[in-house]
Structure 1
Amino acid sequence: MAELLYRLGKFAARRVWTVIATWIVVLLVAGVGFAIGFKGLATSFDIPGTASSQVTDELAEKLPDFSGAAGTVVFSTEDGSALSADQQAAISAMVADAGDLPDVATVNDPFATERERADRAQQIEDGRAQIDDGRSQLEAGQAQLDAAQADVTAGQAQLDAARTQAEAAGAPEEQLAALDAQQAQLEAGQAQLDAQQAQIDSSTGELETQSATLEQGAELLDLAKGIRLVSEDGSTALVNIGFTEPRLELSPASKKAVVEHFTAEPIDGIEVAFSTEIAQGVPQILGVGEAIGVVIAGVVLLVMLGSIIAAALPLLTAIVGVAIGVLGVLAFSGVVQMASVTPVLGVMLGLAVGIDYSLFIINRHRKQLLQGLDVDESIGLANGTAGNAVVFAGTTVIVALLALNVTGIPFLGLMGTAGAVCVAVAVLIAISLTPALLSMVGERVLGRRARARIVRADAAPASAPAEPTRASRRERSVLRTKPIRPMSTLRSVLTIVVAIAALLVVAIPALSMRVGLPDGGSEPVESASYRAFTITEDAFGAGANSTILVTADLPSGLSDEDVVAQQLEIARSISDLDDVVAVAPIAVSDDGELAAFQVVPADGPNSVSTETLVRSLRELEPAGVDGPLGVAGQAAINIDISEGLTSILPIYLTVVVGLSLLIMIVVFRSLLVPVIATGGFILSLFATYGALVAVFQWGWFADLLGIHATGPILNFLPIILIGILFGLAMDYQLFLASGMREAYVHGSEARLAVAQGFRAGRSVVLAAGLIMIAVFGGFIFSESTIIRSLGFGLAFGILVDAFVVRMLLMPAIMHVLGRSAWWVPKWLDRILPNVDVEGAALERRHALHP
């Protein structure tokens, strides 16, 4: 590999414009591909096969109107007064015209809905009054009937007495016939009374049935009284939009159409805001903060390299690499569904590693020029040595990112793949375009004073028999350098104790980590989503922003009355749970076997109580229901995604740690060095988790970073940090530990080799770490909470891993271990391949070439 890269570097140095033209063509192809293939990005996340997705699939089959995405348009008066009749009419007119918008299935008129609610309540009151009147009439009729029955009973008694007396006296047949006639009249009267009694009983039964039905409706209305679309003070109204497409498939154009429709004709005195499901778009990839981060990286390059030209080259190659990588990835957005954060991750990684990888080669080239090598030979040698390390370092990052596909989570695997593509482009740019640009600028990659030193070093004294060789120049350079001594053992032990203790303390908050997805309250204060979230919470309560959709499987063959009774039973069971503000049945499938309910919790979508409620609902089995309830809605979806990601985290961490051990064993031919490297990575990772929790969940230093709302940690952030930080940590481990091994193999005592290797690699690791922190840190001030937390996690992770773990903890442990750090069983040493990461063999082969 080193020899191949050496030849590639020399080819690029000789064919400068060919290489540059090739990359320009690649950039144009990526741009054309983007123009043709870019079809938008998804602003939502999902994991197939979760409980909520299964409920959504069932809804799509039996209640399709409730299976699509949903969002809310919030209208509120600017002065807090009640909406006037004209304002209400204007809003209703907008609602009436919104049904024809693309992908819109349903739009509710809040005022019509509230009128229907009021009418229903009035109907119940009127019905109760009518039933009371009916009962009174029936009671009066019953009293009259009872009196008539008493008269008939008394007449029967008299007639019976008269017949007994007549028969005892031997009355003639005529007299008995008269008594029979009276008996017939009494029986006819009794029959009439029995008929009237049956009619009264029937009317009473019907009245009680009506009363029971009415009371069921009243109870359902009472259970749903916390669900409102117009606030109690009349100042705010909610327009619910139901879409035909699921949230992951809903196009940005359809969302934009809704926004444009409801803002096209402003209503005087009315503020319009949109929930996150409608207003959230693709976050801005680059902003002021990101630009400042790049500027800081440029300053670090200028300080380290001492030349504007040299400092500009890594920035130029990184920007070209980012453009190619991100445009190329986005060109496939029409083929695969990409999350909105995917290109942002590509930009982050592309800029950071692009600058660093180019810096490694440029720094090596500059040192070789100062040692007297000609430009082309130095470019080839730098590409074969530092470039070889770049390829290896980039490969570790790429493998770690591609390993995200083993999680089985599509959007996460795609993010890792996109990031890996951008890193791969950065590597290819570094080993091809960087050598071409170095050839173009020649010795101007050094400052004037440095170029003057080259001349002085190459100018031999008149009496010198020959020009000094490279080896002799290196020896004189070493003599002028302060002697390197190993650190003291006491200092090493203290460093180990303090560093590990500090990392563990910083990691403590990670024990209380909660994960989720940002809600509207986390959006920028000036955004429509934030306004909609806060206005809704103030006017209707926190739970109005976290409505839960619940489904129940009903037994087949139920009558309409039985369905209503079953709905009431389910609603009662749901209402009895803690933190339920309101519950309302909203639909029943045509076959009568699936019922849907709307549930409003007490708190917001990211609260602990809402999470607990979702779990309680899924465990609930009301009487008469076939199996437990199904739960969907944004809050349930977020919980399912978070649980899925949390469950896969240990598996992915195991894969990465195992990969780390294998790679390090091959590279360093040691067993303990990989353990040190991997253990340090785990410490820095959990310290990063702790810092994330402290800032974004607990709110420490939130004001300083411009974070106005705290909440759970972004649910896919812990996993994505493992992949990225692992790759970058191995980069720093490589540049420091490989120098230590090289010194040890060439005869230095183990503890001295640690100091020598650290001295050789510390400047490049220091610069690389500062550059990455600057680039990632620029994204902390993004308007998107997702990007902000990702930038903070990466910046803090690099800060801890590069400066605490790699530059303090790792050398201290290596010193304490001494020679045992490089121990490896002989049988393993024989079968391990010889991986010359730094290209030492190549350097030896070309050492005599000036």
Structure 2
Amino acid sequence: MSTFLFRIGRWSFRHRRIVLALWLLIAVLTIGAAVTSGGKTNDNFTIPGTESQRATDLLAQRVPALSGGQTQVVFAAEENARITDTRQRDGIEQAVANLRKVDQVAEVTDPFQGGATSPDGTIGLGSVQYTVPPGSVNSSTLDDVKRAVQPAEAAGVHVAYSGSVFPGWTTAPSEGPELVGVVVALIILLITFGSLVAAGMPIVTAVLGVLITIMAVTAFAAVVNVATASTTVAIMLGLSCGIDYGLFVLYRHRNHVLRGMDPEDSVALSVGTAGSAVVFAALTVIIALCGLSVVGIPFLAVMGLAAAGAVLIAMLIALTLLPAMLGFAGPRIVQFISRPRRLHAHLERTARTAATAPEEHRGARWGAFVVRHRVPVLILGVLLLAVMALPATHMRLGLPSGASQPTSNTQRQAYDLITEGFGVGANGPLLIVADGVTEQRRTDQLMAALGKLPDVAAVQPLTMEGGVSVIQVTPQSGPNDPETTSLVHRIRDDRAAIEGSTGATILVGGNTASNIDVSAKLSSALPVFLIVVVGLALILLTFAFRTFFVPLKSVLGFLLSILAAFGAQVALFQWGWGRHLFSIVPAETVSFLPIIMLAIIFGLSSDYEVFVVSRIKEDYSRTGDARGAVVRGMSHSARVVTAAALIMFCIFLAFMFTSDPTIKAIGFSFAIGVLLDAFVVRLTLVPAVMALVGGRIWSHPRWFRHLPDPDIEGKRLEEAHRGSGNQRQ
């Protein structure tokens, strides 16, 4: 592989104008495809194989008016007034009349009909039922909904919204996190390289890769449902992996040039050596992300494939476009910031030391410290991660509700008002879809049986149409409370008794039941996901390093870091330890977050494992000194891995400063996972274990000799390069 990549690097360097033109052409074509396709992300989720999805499908066939999106409109009288007062009531009734005229609206319920006003007359609950699914409701329709309720607001009534779709339910993606991440990455690269040319190159190539990815995802959104969060995750990984992969190749190339190697030879050799590590690292990330397809939830599968596409493009750019850009830069890649002179001298001295005498660098000193104190370092590191993992034992899964939003959010305001006026259970009613009901008395029998169940606050009929009766059950507990989950399971478990002699077949559906089904399906899919993803990655890493023990050590280290990251996430977002610092509203852990974290952190942890261990193996293959190889390998890799991990950490952390609680949780979880895995596991525990085990860690069965050697550390390539008269790295 290293020889093949060597040729790619040299060809890209020599034909840099062609390579640059091809990538720019790809960017133009994807932009054109995105614009002409009219694709856009949406949140039309389907959960195949669940009862709630079967209920939704049945409603779509038999009662289409209830299968579309729904907005709950909450009217609350301001000051000491009531909505039943003449002025307020007239304003609300005019608003309801206006809502009935809005495009895509199938039905509007009046809060003054059907007992949808609070006992004290201060809060009313109306609803808007749409003719299309939530993701297909036009933004113009939601704008018209806001305009329609203006008479109520003019009458002194506060209006808040919730439901499956509502005005303000989606916001335009903020460019703030991406820009902050790029700026921080630029600062770290400037410190690492001391050169604006070298610092800017990985960022420019990574941004181009992200642009291509997002445009491609947008184009595909015209033919498949792509969740809105998919683009955010793709941007996170595209930026972080793109900068990191470019950094690894560029760092080695720059060290070559600082030692006097010709730039063309240096680029080719850097792509052949560091590029091999990039390929295996990227493949482990891609395998982990594609593994989300085994979960059986389409929106997660699409999210994983979009993120995997971002990583694939980042890898290809690092192997082709970056060498071409280095060709344009030529010897200027080693130019340092010229002013002030003292800073210039310091940067040049540090860079040349890292290139020509890495054993004098801080990375070597840290490696020597870890090797010398390997037993206490190993014990303390494991204890630290174990203590951080303790909160993970109290993890509670759920999907975000209005309660997880900040108080300024309309969904949170609606949640609080509904709780105040009708009880917390009114925020998450269940829909009982009874098939085979043609008489009202059968519906009455079902309602009577449902009303006797524990934790049921109210039961009311919604409609009877096409042989289907739809009954709304309001729990006493909130949408994400364990009692509500128990109620859903109780109805399903006691299905036969509830159906009785009615001849009906009941299904439990609605948003709350769907959220419960998603959490249950994700939990049951975790073991299968782990086996598939970890198994494939073990095979890949075993092939790369030609030993069982290094991949096994990598997986065990990953488990420690991911459990610690889970614990930190629970403490910060579920227990609310960071509520004031990061404006966090304590809530359940987003149900799909653990499986996404497993996929992405596992892939990224394999990145750093490959980059650290490949340099150690490179030295061990040359010297046969196991413990010395750990120190010397760390001297070559610690500086660049530190920079790469800090860049990835800062890019992920920047997404904590958005208003979306789900994106906040994803950003923090990725950031803390990368931080712990890179610094505690890969740069501390891994060298400690390798120093403790010694040369035995590289042992392998004899039959391994018959397998092809990918030469991930580039040993044969560098030997051939030395033999041709060029200076060795």
TM-score of the superposed pair, with normalisation by structure 1: 0.79
Partner residue in 2 for 1:550: 432
- Alignment of structure 1 residues 169-318 onto 2, 5 Å: 228-247=115-134, 249-263=136-150, 266-277=153-164, 278-279=166-167, 281-318=169-206
Q: Which amino acid aligns with 1:98?
A: L
Amino acid at match of 1:344: T
2:678 aligned residue: 802
1:608 aligns with 2:516: no
Taking structure 1 as reference, are residues 268 and 834 closer, same or farther at Cα in structure 2, changes over 3 Å only? same
Which residue identity lines up with residue 105 of structure 1 in the other structure?
A
**2: distance between equivalents of 1:478 and 1:333?**
48
Q: 1:102: how far off?
A: 3.0
Counterpart in 1 of 2:350?
none
* Contact 1:73-1:241 within 8 A present in 2 as well: yes
2:419 is paired with a residue whose SS is helix
Pair 1:43-2:40 in alignment: no
Q: Is 1:767 equivalent to 2:655 in the alignment?
A: no
Match of 2:349 in 1: none
Work out whether residues 618 and 714 of structure 2, in 8 Å CA contact, stay in contact via their aligned partners in 1.
no
Counterpart residue type for residue 710 of structure 2:
V
1:445-499 superposed Cα distances (whole Å, 9 cap, x missing partner): 22348999xxx9xxxxxxxxxxxxxxxx999847977987855777211122222
Aligned pair partner of 1:325 in 209, 213, 218: 213
Alpha-carbon distance, 1:528 to partner:
2.1
Q: For the Cα contact (< 8 Å) 2:160–2:414, is it kept in 1?
A: yes
Q: Classify the secondary structure of the residue corresponding to 2:211.
A: helix
Report Cα offsets for 1:236-270 as digits up to 9, x if no partner.
22221112223455455544443444359952423
Give 2:375's aligned residue: 493
In 2, are the aligned partners of 1:52 and 1:640 still within 8 Å (CA)? yes
- Structure 1: how far apart are the matches of 2:425 and 2:589? 20
* Match runs of 1:714-725 below 5 Å: 714-725=590-601
Residues 277 and 614, structure 2, Cα contact 8 Å, conserved in 1 = no
- Report deviation, 1:555: 6.7
Instruction: Write out per-residue CA displacement over residues 409-432 of structure 1, whole angstroms, 9 at most, x where no aligned residue.
Output: 211111111011111111122222
**8 Å contact from structure 1 (residues 276, 520) kept in 2:** no
Per the alignment, do residues 322 and 310 of structure 1 end up closer, same or farther by CA in structure 2, a change over 3 Å counting?
A: same
Q: Check the 8 A contact 2:44/2:225 in 1, yes or no.
A: no
Show the counterpart of 2:92. Answer: 91
Any conservation in 1 of the 2:656–2:665 contact (CA below 8 Å)? Answer: yes
Cα 1:478–1:737 shift into 2, 3 Å? closer
Q: What letter is aligned with 2:509? A: A
The answer to whether the 8 Å contact 1:618/1:628 transfers is no
In the other structure, the counterpart of 1:820 is 696
**Offset of residue 744 of structure 1:** 1.6
Distance 2:122 2:267 in 1: 71
Give the distance between the partners of 1:476 and 1:637, measured in 2 at CA: 60
The secondary structure found in structure 2 opposite 1:415 is helix
Q: Per-residue deviation at 1:582? A: 1.0
Taking the aligned partners of 1:53 and 1:670, their CA distance within structure 2 comes to 46
User: What is the alpha-carbon distance in structure 1 between the residues aligned to residue 669 and residue 462 of structure 2?
Assistant: 43
1:746 aligned to which of 622, 641, 649: 622
1:655 to 532, 553, 567: 532
1:362 to 215, 226, 250: 250
Question: In the alignment, which of 396, 411, 414 is matched to residue 532 of structure 1?
Answer: 414
Task: Report the equivalent of 1:144.
Answer: none
Distance change in 2, residues 1:252/1:611 (3 Å)? farther
Question: Would the aligned equivalents of 1:486 and 1:751 in 2 still touch at CA under 8 Å?
Answer: no
The code of the aligned residue for 1:347 comes to: I
Paired letter, 1:445: I
C-alpha spacing 1:263/1:392, structure 2 compared with 1 (3 Å): farther
What does residue 463 of structure 2 align with? 587
Per-residue CA deviation, residues 363-387 of structure 1 (Å, 9 max, x unaligned), is 1111011110122222222222222
Please give the alpha-carbon distance, in whole angstroms, between the structure 2 residues aligned to 1:449 and 1:97: 64
* Aligned counterparts of 1:665 and 1:58: Cα–Cα separation in 2: 49
**Is the contact made by 1:619 and 1:629 (CA closer than 8 Å) also made in structure 2?**
no
State the match for 1:203 in structure 2.
none
Indicate the residue corresponding to 2:4 in structure 1: 4
Alpha carbons of structure 1 residues 249 and 51: separation in structure 2 relative to 1, 3 Å: farther
Question: Are residues 1:836 and 2:711 paired?
Answer: yes
Residues 478 and 679 from structure 1, CA distance in 2 versus in 1: closer, same or farther, beyond 3 angstroms?
closer
- C-alpha contact (below 8 Å) 1:300/1:767 kept by paired residues: yes
Distance in 1 of aligned mates of 2:434 and 2:520: 23
Separation in structure 1 between the aligned mates of residue 471 and residue 507 of structure 2, nearest angstrom: 10
Conservation of the 8 A alpha-carbon contact between 1:20 and 1:436: yes
Aligned residue identity for 1:794? F
Question: Which moved further from structure 2: 741-750 or 338-347?
Answer: 741-750
Deviation at 1:789, TM superposition (A): 1.0
Asked if 2 retains the 8 angstrom alpha-carbon contact of 1:55 and 1:631, the reply is yes
Specify the alignment match of 2:491 in structure 1: 617
Which residue of 2 is the match for residue 711 of structure 1? 587
Change (3 A) 1:450 1:661: farther
1-side partners of 2:721 and 2:616: how far apart?
Answer: 22
Equivalent residues of 1:754, 1:814 under 8 A apart: yes
Residue 391 of structure 1 and its aligned partner are, at CA, apart by: 2.1
Distance of 2:355 and 2:270 partners within structure 1 = 20
Where 1:279 maps in the other structure, the secondary structure is coil
Deviations along 1:617-649, one digit per CA (max 9) or x if unpaired, are 222322324477421111101001111111111
Counterpart of 1:671, as a letter, is: F
Aligned residues with identical type, % of pairs: 37
By how many angstroms is 1:332 displaced? 1.1
> Judging changes above 3 Å, is the alpha-carbon distance between structure 1 residues 388 and 674 closer, same or farther for their aligned structure 2 residues?
closer
In the alignment, what sits opposite 1:156? Answer: none
Q: 1:374 to 1:476 in 2, by over 3 A?
A: closer
Per the TM alignment, residue 512 of structure 1 is displaced from its structure 2 partner at its CA by 2.2
CA distance, structure 2, for counterparts of residue 263 and residue 805 of structure 1: 57
Task: Report the Cα offset of residue 406 of structure 1.
Answer: 2.1
Once the two structures are superposed, residues 756-804 of structure 1 have per-residue CA deviations (whole angstroms, 9 ceiling, x without a partner) of 2122211111111101000000111211112111111110110111111
Secondary structure at 2:149's aligned position in 1? helix
Determine if the alignment matches structure 1 residue 644 to structure 2 residue 521: yes
Change (3 A) 1:10 1:108: same
SS in 1 for 2:107: strand
Which residue of the partner structure matches residue 346 of structure 1?
A: 234
Cα distance in 2 for residues equivalent to 1:2 and 1:476: 23
Give the number of equivalent residue pairs: 707
Cα distance between partner residues in 1 of 2:289 and 2:311: 9
* Alpha carbons of structure 1 residues 94 and 449: separation in structure 2 relative to 1, 3 Å: closer
Residues 449/425 of structure 1: CA separation in 2 closer, same or farther (3 Å cut): closer
Question: Is the CA contact (8 Å cut-off) linking 1:354 and 1:430 kept in structure 2?
Answer: yes
> What is the CA-CA distance between 1:56 and the residue it aligns to?
1.9
Match of 1:734 among 610, 630, 637: 610
Root-mean-square deviation (CA, aligned residues, Å) is: 2.7
